[in-house]
Chains A and B, each alone.
Chain A
Amino acid sequence: MATRTQSLEAPADLQHKPTSLWRDALGRLVKNRLAVVGGIIVVILVFLAVFGPFLTPWNYAAQDLKSVAANHNAPVPPLKFGHLFGTDNLGHDLFSRLLDGTRISMTVALVVQVVVLFIGIPIGAAAGWFGGRIDNLLMRFTDVVYAFPDLLFVILLSVSLKDTWFGNAMDGLLLVFVAIGVVAWVTMARIVRGQILSLKETEYVEAARAIGVSDFKIVTRHMLPNAIGPVIVAVTLGIPAAILTEAVLGFLGIGANPPRASWGTLINTGSQWMSSTPHLLVFPALAIAIALLSFTFLGDGLRDALDPKLRGKQ
């Protein structure tokens, strides 16, 4: 009898609607605590980037020279004269500048990844789909870009275009964004190419050809949606790399025109006052560390969640 009741219960389990790939992945993502924490911090950072100016009485460019004078012409320490994180020696409110830096970093994250998607996906897809000589040509070009020292390229580009319209757009930031994107797309191109190559062998792509779908539609409607998982992961993990590159450029004095300051610029300023007023270095460094870690945790979580080998498991 016992076995009979069991066999009767089994079908009830089968009546669960099978979950879709995305719901399945989301289920695994929320079970990953680090990824959830990372995701929450990312949301907070985006919020700060958008609404930053409304959260502080000070403008990032404003100079509170009175407080600096009252502090014997030294940087104001945190929580003094109404400055949450203090000021630098010129009276700039550090908290306001950090918020503006958040805005710069998040814009880097967005714009660079858009550039990466717009260059990387078409090149990778074309290489994978056409194969042969076109593949060879595109991938060797990708190799060249990959082998070229990124930072050097970005610095050269920034310096040589500095005085043009393009170099001054968005306080000089657009140039930096595009320059980073132009060297960062190679990973995306390789990932997309690999995906397209393996998807080309699938039966459903052959089935699409068998009903006369055009090549372009096969790639865009039938293949790319199946490659979206690795692309999302690459984007999420590409963001911290872009933020870091922009910070390094800021530290070297390339990028945002004064008075705007990216996190890298703030660290540069802070490093000059390291021994006397370490808060000028500590807060921007913390901001960068938190941003990088949370994006990386989120990316790692997404990679695990979207791993096709884990599909259906918890």
Chain B
Amino acid sequence: MTLTDDDRQTAGAAVTELPDSVDIVTEEGRRLAQQLVDAREHHARKLLEVRNLSTQFFTKEGVVHAVDDVSFELDYGETLGLVGESGCGKSVTALSLTRLVPSPPGKIVAGEIIFDGIDLMRLSKEEMRLLRGKKIGFIFQDPMTSLNPTLTIGYQIAESARIHMGLSRRAADDRAVELLGKVGIPRARERMGDYPHQFSGGMRQRVMIAIALACDPMLLLADEPTTALDVTIQAQILDLIRSLSEEFGTAVILITHDLGIAAGMCNRVNVMYAGRIVETANVDDVFERPRMPYTWGLMDSLPRLDEERGARLRTIEGMPPDLVSPPDACRFAPRCTYVRDVCREHEPALTARDTADHLARCWGTESGGWIK
């Protein structure tokens, strides 16, 4: 569910009108008032607010700043893309949101994660466990390795429903059959007793989606859900994620290195580089008016159909930087073709560009910058 500004105003207005018309002393009046307050809070808040999240890995070579001071928000029902090269902190961001960062050596060292009004960092381990799978679903990259080879498909789908919805074995099995049907597995009931090796890669990813959606979560984290699949299957899986997230009203964080996928799926896009968000905007703004040379580089390196045959695929020269001791400089500077001295001396902040919600981290495109 996405809210317009009008919705927010009505929600706010309803509460201000309340004291005159309703007698708060009565039980009924108090209940009504509480409902309205709840509704206002619900409408005003986001599904997910991440503030200054930093996740580090303490290795022998030093402290790796895998996610460095990342903040973003996500509305109910919205689809957000996390885009960037390998090793830029996308997956660690997703793992941090569910507090699944392998520890040791990883640790969330700072930041707040407010999910549906709950501060996840304050939850106990057990409370966090009961939230995973119930409110937040997770789809992993490689469906060949993310299903347990010794358990049946049916068990693996029903497990989540049994843990979180308190269903009996039979009721959970029925739920699993329903989900298998929803993700497009034919003869679902017959296939419940099958093992993962009896499914193809695309089918397994469908099963993973069924597992992730088993408890009707509010947020779905999809970590490169199609990277390990054939191109022909990719589109089917993405369609499935989109249609089911619309049907269930689930917000999605889609992690991908493929800008094309992000363009087709997302409402907003966060471009990440070296553990930081370097550009964030509506999907249209990112693709029509990107304001960060790294985003241009990512777009240029997409293969295009209208290109001359035999033309070389463009790449971004160089490698992402070592994240052990990031300097106070633009982290993209060593690879940037527009680089100037200021980029190597100070790190730019994430500041607004054309619109208030289009932010970029670049000296060159700031007002008065040298890149037009």
Contact = CB atoms under 8 A, between A and B. Distances in A.
A and B held together in a complex: yes
Interface of A: 17-18, 20-21, 132, 202-214, 221-222, 225-226, 228
Contacts, number: 75
B41 to A, nearest CB: 26
B10 interface: no
Contacts of B163: 211-214
Nearest to B195: A20
A204 B148 contact: yes
A179 B201 CA distance: 50
A113 B159 CA distance: 32
B145 A202 contact: yes
B132 A212 contact: yes
Given A207-B140, A209-B100, A211-B159, A222 B132 contact: no
Interface size class of B (residues with CB under 8 A): 20 to 34
A209 B146 contact: no
B147 A206 contact: no
A121 to B, nearest CB: 16
Interface string B141-171: 1100111111100000001100110000000
A212 B131 CA distance: 7
Contacts of A205: 148
A211 B197 contact: no
A226 B100 contact: no
A203 B147 CA distance: 8
A214 B151 contact: no
A260 B327 CA distance: 80
A30 to B, nearest CB: 21
A208 B149 CA distance: 13
Contacts of A213: 133, 159, 163
Given A212-B130, A225-B150, A207 B138 contact: yes
B131 to A, nearest CB: 7
A215 to B, nearest CB: 8
A16 to B, nearest CB: 11
20 contacts: A21-B149, A132-B104, A202-B145, A203-B141, A203-B145, A203-B146, A204-B145, A204-B146, A204-B148, A204-B149, A207-B140, A208-B148, A209-B100, A212-B164, A213-B133, A214-B129, A221-B151, A222-B151, A225-B150, A226-B148
Given A203-B145, A204-B147, A207-B146, A17 B198 contact: yes
Contacts of A202: 145
Given A18-B197, A20-B197, A211 B211 contact: yes
A18 to B, nearest CB: 5
Nearest to A210: B138
B165 to A, nearest CB: 11
B214 interface: yes
A203 B142 contact: yes
A205 B164 CA distance: 18
Shortest beta-carbon contacts, A-B, top 9: A211-B133, A210-B138, A212-B133, A225-B150, A212-B132, A203-B146, A204-B148, A211-B160, A203-B145
Contacts of B100: 206, 209-210
